[in-house]
């Protein structure tokens, strides 16, 4: 009898133990399927000396960063460079801040980005308006860097068409910032667009040796207007603000002069004197590359080029404010010819000289 009671108690204890184990598993099961918190994308940006209020490509890049914040839920950080000495410091600060992607805006930051990338091989970087090539034209972009460049000559060609159709004096002007290959792309594209309409139109040009000297930009614009130019296109960053001031001041009741902006839509700088702006969608590029990182599609060591075909270059939506529809229609026809490859826009002097030889004789 005693043995039967002992066996019964032993079995009961075992059953209770098993029931307890089952209870423990049921209470923890819901937590085992819980989703881990998704890490928020962090994107940083260091401007060049133009700053985010340059009304040009830094401002455009900043819009792209804010779009990443709103559309991708990214945490963003911007540091403005007041002088070139700030480039290394600002990039280092952004890297230490734990950013997943750090942007340098402008070709002037090429050396700083290269150094930061090599010092921090586990971090990702992007640079606008510069690509790393050796003397043989081979891509030597660091594996943790994406370069973003644009076919500025294509949009500048369209601005040249507008200038040629709108000039009454058969003299137009080009205002450049620093006289380097990048800005010469704008000038030769512009000259080609003017010549496509009328090779007899005279094109004046002046360089300010700065992207931040609006006073110099104004003085050069005044000089070109005084020489008979009645339309001036600029590719000079913050220096170009002086062009719009000059256009307003040089317009008379019997002689109106015009300005054409660049990078961002600059219509608001002189609403009564702005024909158009060549839009360089730095904002779209910054957002696009940031989105690729968010989607695990980011690939370093490459140069991504945006032109008319890729939607990286275009004319400003405000063009219709002061430019006749017939001129806009002509611009759009040239745009399609460039996209299709029928027109190859020159970006160097050698290419421009060859382009001029192929133009129909007028």
Q: What is the per-residue pLDDT across 113-136, written as a single tens digit (0 to 9) for each?
A: 999 999 999 999 999 999 999 999
The side-by-side arrangement of strands in the sheet containing 145-150 is 75-79, 42-46, 101-105, 124-128, 145-150, 302-306
The pLDDT of residue 253: 81
Judged against a pLDDT cut of 50, whether residue 26 lies above it is answered with no
Residue 12 lies in a domain: no
Same domain? For 163 and 79 the reply is no
Same domain? For 84 and 197 the reply is no
Same domain? For 257 and 289 the reply is no
Same domain? For 90 and 104 the reply is yes
Same domain? For 166 and 109 the reply is no
Write the DSSP assignment of 97-114 as a string of letters.
TT-SEEEEESGGGHHHHH
Residue 70 lies in a domain: yes
Angle at 253 between CA 265 and CA 226, to 5 degrees: 75
Residue 265 lies in a domain: yes
| pLDDT bucket at 254, cuts 50 / 70 / 90 | confident
User: What are the CA-CA distances from residue 102 to residues 42, 94, 203 (Å)?
Assistant: 9, 7, 40
- Of 34-38, 52-56, 218-222, the range with the highest mean pLDDT is 218-222
Average pLDDT over residues 95-121: 96
Domain around 111: 42-150+284-295+299-306
Judged against a pLDDT cut of 50, whether residue 9 lies above it is answered with no
Same domain? For 195 and 123 the reply is no
Residue 240 lies in a domain: yes
Residue 97 lies in a domain: yes
Give the residue carrying structure tokens 């790393």: 132
| pLDDT bucket at 38, cuts 50 / 70 / 90 | low
**d(C-alpha 329, C-alpha 161), whole Å:** 11
Same domain? For 65 and 79 the reply is yes
The domain tally of the chain equals: 2
Which pair of structure tokens corresponds to residue 313? 């270059």
The pLDDT of residue 39: 77
Residue 228 lies in a domain: yes
**d(C-alpha 200, C-alpha 190), whole Å:** 14
Q: What is the per-residue pLDDT across 190-240, written as a single tens digit (0 to 9) for each?
A: 999 999 999 999 999 999 999 999 999 999 999 999 999 999 999 999 999
The pLDDT of residue 17: 43
Judged against a pLDDT cut of 60, whether residue 32 lies above it is answered with no
Same domain? For 75 and 90 the reply is yes
Residue 168 lies in a domain: yes
| pLDDT bucket at 53, cuts 50 / 70 / 90 | confident
Same domain? For 228 and 181 the reply is yes
Same domain? For 176 and 142 the reply is no
Q: What is the per-residue pLDDT across 286-315, written as a single tens digit (0 to 9) for each?
A: 999 999 999 999 999 999 999 999 999 999
Contact present, 114 and 141 (Cβ < 8 Å): no
The pLDDT of residue 247: 98
The pLDDT of residue 37: 54
Same domain? For 59 and 116 the reply is yes
- Higher confidence at residue 22 or residue 226? 226
CATH code assigned at 234? 3.40.50.2300
| pLDDT bucket at 55, cuts 50 / 70 / 90 | confident
Same domain? For 136 and 185 the reply is no
Residue 34 lies in a domain: no
């Amino acid at each position: 009898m005693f043995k039967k009671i002992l066996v019964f108690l032993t079995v009961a204890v075992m059953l209770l133990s098993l029931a307890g184990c089952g209870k423990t598993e049921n209470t923890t099961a819901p937590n085992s399927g819980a989703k881990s918190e998704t890490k928020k994308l962090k994107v940083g940006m260091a401007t060049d000396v133009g700053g985010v209020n340059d009304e040009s490509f830094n401002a455009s890049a900043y819009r792209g960063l804010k779009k990443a914040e709103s559309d991708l839920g990214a945490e963003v950080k911007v540091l403005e460079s007041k002088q070139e000495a700030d480039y290394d410091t600002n990039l280092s600060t952004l890297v230490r801040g734990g950013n997943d992607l750090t942007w340098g805006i402008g070709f002037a930051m090429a050396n700083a980005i290269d150094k930061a990338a090599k010092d921090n091989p586990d971090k990702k970087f992007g640079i606008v308006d510069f690509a790393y090539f050796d003397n043989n034209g081979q891509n030597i972009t660091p594996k943790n860097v994406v370069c973003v460049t644009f076919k500025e000559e294509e949009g500048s060609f369209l601005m040249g068409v507008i200038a040629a159709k709108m000039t009454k004096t058969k003299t137009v002007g080009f205002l450049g910032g620093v006289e380097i290959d990048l800005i010469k792309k704008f000038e030769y594209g512009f000259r080609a667009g003017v010549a496509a309409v009328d090779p007899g139109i005279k094109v004046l040009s002046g360089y300010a040796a700065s992207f931040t000297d609006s006073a110099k930009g104004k003085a050069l614009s005044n000089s070109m207007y005084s020489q008979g130019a009645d339309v001036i296109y600029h590719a000079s960053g913050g220096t170009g603000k002086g062009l719009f001031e000059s256009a307003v001041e040089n317009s008379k009741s019997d002689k109106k002069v015009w300005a054409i902006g660049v990078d961002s839509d600059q219509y608001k700088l002189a609403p009564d004197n702005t024909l158009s702006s060549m839009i360089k969608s730095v904002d779209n590029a910054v957002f696009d590359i940031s989105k690729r990182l968010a989607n695990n599609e980011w690939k370093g060591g490459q140069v991504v080029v945006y032109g008319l075909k890729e939607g990286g270059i275009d004319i400003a939506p405000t063009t219709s404010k002061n430019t006749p529809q017939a001129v806009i229609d002509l611009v759009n026809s040239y745009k399609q010819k460039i996209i299709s490859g029928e027109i190859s826009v020159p970006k160097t002097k050698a290419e421009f000289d060859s382009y001029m030889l192929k133009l129909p004789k007028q």
